[in-house]
A and B are shown apart, each in its own frame.
Chain A
């Protein structure tokens, strides 16, 4: 009965309720700010995430069962057909690979002549995607492989098409991939035709990337393929990122903005490759090189590491 009385005089219970509301809201806002701005909660989050894993595994189960049933139900004829197609593909790819090997050898010879640094060899690891839907406003993927399988934060993730993203979080059995298309993601790239260096930004849509601040004079055209440039050292160079489909002037009209279609197939239910780079010794060697010439050179010790880095390219 009392709830139908006039709301003029708030009861003490209401005031307490409002205070509790304010307390919880403040707590939530504090968490949001800490997680979004500072990233301080990262470690805590990674720790607690472990508890959530069983739920993820459970949610990924229907898709896994569906795939298994489809595999089981495949008829002999379908398998034979698949087998034939794959064998043909293998043949074609093998032939192409043989031709590329010649080019690669030639490239290595030319690079040796130029005295350029040798490209690092790459090692890959196959990881299945855990088929679950995360928050649709963020472009993330969960992999069904974690630190127990040797996955590390910062590894690049690719598929048959090209670069997919990078690992941002690892728990013992799962890993979270930040996709190229996430609003918070950017990759240093180069136009493979002309070598123009740019940065490709995610815009939160799974089928588009954006190249910003392209000088009007730069040689970029629709249809150009864009690959990772390797600048910044996070991604290895030479992996396809996307194809330019549209160019338009930006707000200031001093630069162009390019739209890219990602090269990787950003749909679900597939396996991805994790790049494991055998780069550690090379970096250490680089800093040693920078350190050794430093003593004879009188200029301050602060210059030594910078010199070491500059010597690289």
Chain B
């Protein structure tokens, strides 16, 4: 459990995820952009629960709202909801094979879309067009490689 983890890995990956969130994409691919920040936050919630909890998710969300230019608190709320569900199922999730984990993450991302849609409905904001609902699937497919990359970043070169 207590393998030497790099303390800088968490802020660096979160910043990278924020950056990937605003990086310009061609208009055709834009709806497919996965919710990078949610994926990275999910990783830290699963792997380092003593450092990353609800407060971590909330802070990430607040910064995301500033960076993405959305209503302040929107991403914070979405990530806190996701973090709470993850914390509840963390004990089981940790020992799932990575493909099964990906399915759960996909479900969480879909749930996140539903939360966002409900929030927008409630606030009278514009709803996203339907192609944006494909993004959770992209996120799900990205989970296994992302997990490997983040593990390598967190623990260094050597394999477990």
| Contact A29-B132, Cβ < 8 Å, known A45-B66, A59-B24 | no
Chain B residues within 8 Å of chain A by Cβ, number: 44
**A10–chain B nearest beta-carbon distance, Å:** 11
Which of B18, B62, B76, B81 touches A55 (beta carbons < 8 Å)?
B18
Contacts of A176 in B (CB 8 A): 69
Chain A residues within 8 Å of chain B by Cβ, number: 42
**A113–chain B nearest beta-carbon distance, Å:** 48
A140 interface hit (Cβ, 8 Å):
yes
A82 interface hit (Cβ, 8 Å):
no
Which of A21, A27, A48, A268 touches B84 (beta carbons < 8 Å)?
A21
**A134 touching B69, Cβ below 8 Å:** yes
Known contacts A28-B73, A55-B22, A136-B30, then 14 further A-B pairs from the complex at CB < 8 Å, ordered by chain A residue? A3-B91, A3-B92, A21-B54, A24-B55, A24-B57, A24-B80, A25-B80, A31-B62, A32-B119, A36-B71, A48-B66, A52-B67, A55-B19, A142-B69
**A35 touching B71, Cβ below 8 Å:** yes
**B70 touching A138, Cβ below 8 Å:** yes
| Contact A25-B77, Cβ < 8 Å, known A59-B24, A135-B70, A138-B69 | yes
A63 interface hit (Cβ, 8 Å):
yes
Could you list 11 examples of A-B contacts with CB < 8 Å?
A17-B88, A25-B81, A27-B58, A31-B62, A32-B119, A55-B22, A56-B22, A59-B23, A59-B24, A137-B127, A137-B128
**B126 touching A31, Cβ below 8 Å:** no
| Contact A183-B126, Cβ < 8 Å, known A55-B19, A59-B22, A140-B69 | yes
Q: Which residues of B contact A (CB under 8 A)?
A: 15, 18-19, 21-25, 30-31, 33, 54-55, 57-58, 61-63, 66-74, 76-77, 80-81, 84, 87-88, 91-92, 119-120, 123, 125-128, 132
Which of B24, B62, B63, B66 touches A268 (beta carbons < 8 Å)?
B24
Closest A-B pairs by Cβ, 4 of them = A31-B73, A204-B126, A28-B77, A3-B91
Contacts of B18 in A (CB 8 A): 55
A58 interface hit (Cβ, 8 Å):
yes
Which of B24, B58, B120 touches A28 (beta carbons < 8 Å)?
B58
A83 interface hit (Cβ, 8 Å):
no
Smallest Cβ-Cβ distance to A48: which chain B residue: B66
Which of B19, B57, B76, B123 touches A59 (beta carbons < 8 Å)?
B19
**A57–chain B nearest beta-carbon distance, Å:** 11
Cα–Cα, bound, A112→B90 (Å): 77
**B58 touching A52, Cβ below 8 Å:** no
Contacts of A17 in B (CB 8 A): 54, 84, 87-88
**A135 touching B55, Cβ below 8 Å:** no
Cα–Cα, bound, A268→B25 (Å): 11
A133 interface hit (Cβ, 8 Å):
yes
**B76 touching A133, Cβ below 8 Å:** no
Encode A149-160 as 1/0 by CB contact (under 8 A) with B.
Answer: 000000000000
Cα–Cα, bound, A34→B65 (Å): 14
A97 interface hit (Cβ, 8 Å):
no
**B80 touching A134, Cβ below 8 Å:** no
**B25 touching A133, Cβ below 8 Å:** yes
**A35 touching B23, Cβ below 8 Å:** no
**B66–chain A nearest beta-carbon distance, Å:** 5
**B125 touching A137, Cβ below 8 Å:** yes
